[in-house]
Amino acid sequence: MSIKLASQKILKDWIDYNGHMNVTYYLLIFDKFGADNLNTIFNMGEHSAKTTGMSTMMVESNITYNQELKLDDEVDINLLYFDHDMKRLQYKFEMVHKKKSYLASTFEALALYVDLNTRKVKEFEEDKIKIMNDFIVKNKSNFSNENLKLSSKLKK
């Protein structure tokens, strides 16, 4: 199971000389349409960065390239797993071909909560912890902890 976060069409500028999407753009899609959407749900996205000076920064990731994507293919970006501790987010996304339903890629990341004014890692505020915990409770049955690489990095 998974939670759909976004859909995206593969653009011409993302196609390389091999006739498929360049590896660079897998990360772009996961960041822009996965992590940014998730951060918005948790009130830690662009609006938070601009208004409170608090945001997240990715510090470690693992990506798999399972099957190529070509020009004009459409993909769904789905959340497979989410957890957190007092300063860190761990999430895993999948990219699935919208029409053919094949797994194109997965992306797991560890991000830190950061005060942009001091550039220091901070603990989440209580309201953010509540939002994340409520999200986990609501969606836990959709999560899969299969093949997670970064779970040991959370300090629970």
pLDDT in tens, 35-84: 999 999 999 999 999 999 999 999 999 999 999 999 999 999 999 999 99
**Confidence bin at 143 (pLDDT 50/70/90):** very high
Q: Which residue has the tokens 């830190």?
A: 112
**Confidence bin at 10 (pLDDT 50/70/90):** very high
Question: Which CATH number covers residue 93?
Answer: 3.10.129.10
Number of domains forming the structure of the chain: 1
Q: Is the pLDDT of residue 101 over 80?
A: yes
Q: Is the pLDDT of residue 1 over 80?
A: no
Q: What CA–CA distance (Å, rounded) separates 83 from 127?
A: 16
Sign of the CA dihedral with 26 first, then 101, 62, and 86 last: positive
Query: CB within 8 A of 133, min separation 6: which ones?
Result: none
For residue 53, what are its two tokens? Answer: 């000076």
Name the residue range of residue 137's domain: 3-153
Query: For 74-100, what is the mean pLDDT?
Result: 98
